[in-house]
Amino acid sequence: MIVVLMGVSGCGKTTIGQQLAERLGWKLLDADAFHPPANIEKMSRGVPLEDADRWPWLDSLNGMVREAEARGESVLLACSALKARYRERIATGCTNVSWVYLKGDFSLIEARLMARKGHYMKAGLLQSQFAALEEPGNAVVVNIAESPAQIADRLVKQLGAKPVSQKS
């Protein structure tokens, strides 16, 4: 199974993904770690990426999840995947992709971004992310107001996945 945790920057994709990966014993791929240096530099300057910037990055993410699926591995991918066409690009060629939309209001996420240190994604880009967001119709929708631990626990059940302690 491939599970993509999606949503705007600051919604908790990586934090919740780490907790979920720990519970399930799955590998977590953080899409931010695979951005080319030019994309990171652009976002560091507060400039939103354009589709031309994203296509090679999304294609590489697609390759990673297709390879994991071909090996029979379950993987979590933390990726903004804000638009339907980005989600389609990630899932192309895969047979078992589930989407988890980490949804929160602007003020909560902005406060989280402003408190975050050492990340290239600045709070000033949040408005452009909300403007670009096309909410998915085929996702498990999670309100991010709860703690990451509570969200991860609920997602284990909602995804029908077996925690590590229950695997044989």
* DSSP states of 76-143: EEE----SHHHHHHHHTT-S-EEEEEEE--HHHHHHHHHH--S-S--GGGHHHHHHH----SSEEEEE
Question: Each residue of 40-72: pLDDT tens digit?
Answer: 888 778 787 889 999 999 999 999 999 999 999
Q: Say what the pLDDT of residue 116 is.
A: 63
All domains of the chain in start order, with CATH: 2-159 (3.40.50.300)
Please provide the average confidence, as pLDDT, over all residues in the chain.
Answer: 89
- Tell me how far apart the alpha carbons of residues 129 and 144 are, in angstroms, rounded to a whole number: 16
Residue 8: other Cβ atoms inside 10 A:
24
Q: Which residue has the tokens 């909300």?
A: 130
Determine which of 12-21, 77-86, 113-122, 158-167 has the lowest per-residue pLDDT on average: 113-122
